Amino acid sequence: MAALSSPYKQYAIVTGNYWAFTLTDGALRMLVVLHFHQLGFSPLQIASLFLFYEIFGVVTNLIGGYLGARIGLNRTMNIGLALQVIALMMLFVPTALLTVPWVMGAQALSGIAKDLNKMSAKSAIKLLVPTNAQGQLFKWVALLTGSKNALKGVGFFLGAVLLTALGFDGAVLCMAIALAIVWLASLILLRQDLGRAKSKPKFHEIFSKSKAVNVLSAARLFLFGARDVWFVVALPVFLASQLQWDFWWVGGFLALWVIGYGIVQSLVPSMLGLTKARTPDGRSAVYWALILALTTAILAAALGSNLPVAAVLITGLILFGIFFAINSSIHSYLIVRHAKEDGVSLDVGFYYMANASGRLIGTLLSGWVYQIAGLTMCLWISAGFIAIAALFSLALPKRIGN
């Protein structure tokens, strides 16, 4: 037990919790999508089941950072694990009780749980790396973020396998039991003061006073809105309805995309040839956002041409995934870099509140724009959002002391 108080081992426990949670989060999303598709729900109706998941993510990130600074990241993470167990058990009911409001409520709890876990894990890493070791910080942030997304893709597969092998009820019960065991271990092993601020922050401090954090948060909002405006609803509906892909092909393809995206995120420091003395700054954020915006615009134009749709879309998805992973990895490093060390979760929570807001806006626009104007218009809006993110990034610090 004494050895487990080491900061590095404490962070290993936090990371293990985060990975376990991420697997259930990805699996639960696929379970809900597949099961309610079998029950006859339309794709847009299925998307609406996740509305509260995104809305409560906005609120959770804003308040969760405050709670983490006051009560410690161990408690916010354990609360998140417990809420996910409850959310899973809410779905372990007869099919007749799985009404839209009930499932939306379960997804709301799951959204709160997910963002409490993410905020806790991302904040904890700031506490372990010395300020003069920013190259190491970038590598660790990239590895954590990338592994999380890769595991979420694995979770998609896990959800499909569990649904096939155990049915919907058996799948959610199995995941609830497994995560409850992780939660009990976390209650015992995590330190009580991990990430707690030296002085109790006031509630009004949930809003960041740092220009860099505020600018980065605005850029993040548009960056993730740009992804979800075409990826969440428009793309899977297009693949199923226009390209006539089987639903399992759609789910499997998107799972592989997320896994590949996560792997690229983990490798970004090596791909960019960055060193301990050379890490991303505001210029990096602008440069890679412009490349992503141009790539998305070219994809939108190509879809409007006479080129083969499937080949254009798959190629565009691969390129978008690579460049988006680079942008996301740079952003994830910069927020941890610019967040203040005492009460780090306040700045990180505010930033991921903007991230959740972007996802919410993108999710809503994805269904609405696709319904009235199609996938190509979703992509043009995505390119515009990324260009706005690049404009905000112009105000980021151009040099960061290492």
Residues 376 and 303: beta-carbon distance below 8 Å = yes
pLDDT more than 70, % of the chain? 84
- Average pLDDT rounded to a whole number, residues 369-393: 94
Distance CA 120, CA 204 (A): 20
- Comparing 342 with 161, the larger pLDDT belongs to 161
pLDDT band at 291 (very low <50, low <70, confident <90, very high): very high
3-7, 34-38, 73-77, 254-258: segment of lowest average pLDDT:
3-7
**Tokens 């002391």 label which residue?**
401
Say what the pLDDT of residue 2 is: 47
Write the DSSP symbol of residue 200.
P
The candidate with the shortest Cα–Cα distance to 79, out of 91, 63, 98, 93, is 63
pLDDT of residue 129: 63
Question: What integer is the mean pLDDT of 274-281?
Answer: 66
- Could you tell me the pTM of the whole model? 0.79
Give SS3 for 275.
Answer: strand
CATH numbers and ranges of domains, the chain? 3-195+208-393 (1.20.1250.20)
Q: pLDDT by residue (tens digit) across 86-124?
A: 999 999 988 888 888 888 889 889 988 988 887 777 777
Between 64 and 150, name the one with better pLDDT. Answer: 150
In angstroms, the Cα distances linking 196 to 45, 73, 261, 325 are 41, 7, 32, 31
Structure tokens, 180: 């409850």
Residue 61 near residue 353 (C-beta atoms within 8 A): yes
The residue that leads in pLDDT, 38 or 239, is 239
The per-residue pLDDT for range 153-206, each reduced to its tens digit, is 888 778 878 888 888 899 999 999 999 999 999 888 876 666 565 555 555 455
pLDDT at 276: 54
Which one is predicted more confidently, 39 or 365? 365
Residue 342: which of 212, 157, 205, 183 has the closest Cα? 205
> pLDDT-based confidence at 4, cuts 50/70/90?
very low
Distance CA(259)–CA(255), nearest Å, equals 6
Between residues 294 and 161, which one has the greater pLDDT?
A: 294
User: What integer best gives the mean pLDDT of the chain?
Assistant: 82
What 3-state DSSP class applies to 273? coil
